[in-house]
Structure 1
Amino acid sequence: MSALPAPAELTYRPLAEPDLPAVLDLLTVTLAGGPTGTRTAGFFTWKHRRNPFGASPGMVAETPDGRLAGVRLFLRWQWQRGDGTPVAAVRPVDTATHPDFQGRGVFRRLTSDLLDQVTDEAALVFNTPNGNSLPAYRKMGWQELGRVPIAVRAVRPAAFARGVRAALARRPAGAARPVGDDCRLPTAAAWLDAHAGAGRHGPLAELLRERAAADAVDHRLAVHRTPEYLRWRYGEAPGL
């Protein structure tokens, strides 16, 4: 059996489009199938190339014979302050080191090189690491800020309550769970498509104005919501 290349013999370079099949294979080997159950070029392209905040920068580690030993991508993101000032950010997301090269500093080198690449264009870096990657980030000096709470808020509480009451009224007496036609709401993709051309006076524009007004009195950062972002995030994700 031939010896593995030493870390110093690996080449670290920007991710290129021809790397995509090997990257998908590497992500599958190390991270399994992902949110859609399989690593597809369509999902990767949606996530990293069609993001309205910009294409994702990436780095790979390559052996002398062209084999990928590791990959690291940063998802571009944009927050905004209550006064509307945009805050450019990146979010480290898909990262993988082939089992043959784990424990050899590949993750650290890929992350450091990519951070150097985006230093001049991102005001902050944020992440939601899993249990496997969190120890590595701590070793690199990252600070853990705690868990982000998840909440759902009705934009129009009265209309939401009326819809719930109507759904409950349609449920047969004694039914343990809602029947198939209890939910009359369109999918996010269908709703966004239906109102995409309504301009400043449509329900999508009204929703964004309401959120902007709420954000203006809240000093925390919020996602920069645009029709393009909402359509990409909630209406166009393949397989979700």
Structure 2
Amino acid sequence: MTTPSDRPSAAAELTVRPLTEADTPAVLELLTASLAGGPTGTRSADFFAWKHRRNPFGASPGLLAETADGRLAGVRLFLRWQWQAGGRAVRAVRPVDTATHPDFQGRGIFRRLTTGLLEQVAGDTELVFNTPNGNSLPGYLKMGWRVVGRVPIALRIARPAAFALGARAALTRRPAAAPRPLRCRLPTAAEWFAEPPAGLPELLAERAQSDAADRRQAVLRTESFLRWRYGDAPGLDYRVLTCER
């Protein structure tokens, strides 16, 4: 814990520079302190590399702010993405993994890093999209961003009767009872992509042709993207249900 006298003064100089691989441990420490463990519960170097360096759409540009003695004050990354609309590819970025050390909050680091990255990607990016949380949303609104809507979430139950029975059993189970381990007979995405169906390229080509006739934005689905997003994601247990016609 720091006291007011321990904290850097507003006059302390901060340097903004590109993020490098050597910065990963310090960045993970700051992200964990600010945003907790993320989707896997812990922020590992492998997950960070998968997300920001092995992305088939390109490595994530990033900036960080640091003091003269190398202390990390803030970090900001943009995740590369690619949409398509009407058969035309739309290169995009998504602001993610933003954190400011508590000792340096209120000094405009969020705005400075964000505007710096926007300038950096302006030459090769058409679209910037984001799904901010309650902490970061006010900062974006102050910078002139606007809310365009909420992403709808849908759930379709494949076996309603079995689901109802399972839900009823869960509700009536005694609180002291040990939780039953979840079991899923479906193959993991990693297992599925080890031997994908022979017709996968044709299926993706068919989907691409359908998307080309649609003027709405859709993620550019390729085998490399699907394999990276679901099969190679460390710590995320995606499963695959194969339907044949």
TM-score, structure 2 length as denominator? 0.81
Which consecutive segments of 4 or more residues in structure 1 shift more than 6 A? 179-182
Q: Per the alignment, in what secondary structure is the counterpart of residue 35 of structure 1?
A: helix
Amino acid at match of 1:110: L
Counterpart pick for 1:129 among 132, 135, 142? 132
Matched, 1:98 2:110: no
**Pairing of 1:184-195 with structure 2 (within 5 A):** 184-195=185-196
Q: Deviations over 1:136-178 (max 9, x none)?
A: 000000111011123478xxxxxxx7xx69x96xxx9xx958x
Query: In the superposition, relative to structure 1, how do residues 192 and 151 fare at CA in structure 2: closer, same or farther (>3 Å)?
Result: farther
**Pairing of 1:66-105 with structure 2 (within 5 A):** 66-83=70-87, 85-105=88-108
Counterpart pick for 1:116 among 119, 143, 153? 119
2 CA distance for matches of 1:28 and 1:145? Answer: 29
Matched, 1:223 2:219: yes
2 CA distance for matches of 1:151 and 1:52? Answer: 27
2 CA distance for matches of 1:8 and 1:79? Answer: 41
User: How far 1:181 moved relative to its partner?
Assistant: 10
Counterpart pick for 2:14 among 10, 19, 22? 10
2 CA distance for matches of 1:7 and 1:204? Answer: 58
Q: Deviations over 1:172-228 (max 9, x none)?
A: 9xx958x99985432222112211xx6xxx232233133223313321011111100
2 CA distance for matches of 1:24 and 1:181? Answer: 30
Query: Number of residue pairs matched?
Result: 219
2 CA distance for matches of 1:58 and 1:28? Answer: 17
Q: Per the alignment, in what secondary structure is the counterpart of residue 121 of structure 1?
A: coil
Q: Per the alignment, in what secondary structure is the counterpart of residue 72 of structure 1?
A: strand
Check the 8 A contact 1:58/1:71 in 2, yes or no: yes
Check the 8 A contact 2:12/2:67 in 1, yes or no: no
The runs of 5 or more residues in structure 1 that have no matched partner are 154-160
Aligned residue in 2 for 1:157: none
Check the 8 A contact 2:7/2:103 in 1, yes or no: no
Aligned residue in 2 for 1:49: 53
Amino acid at match of 2:132: P
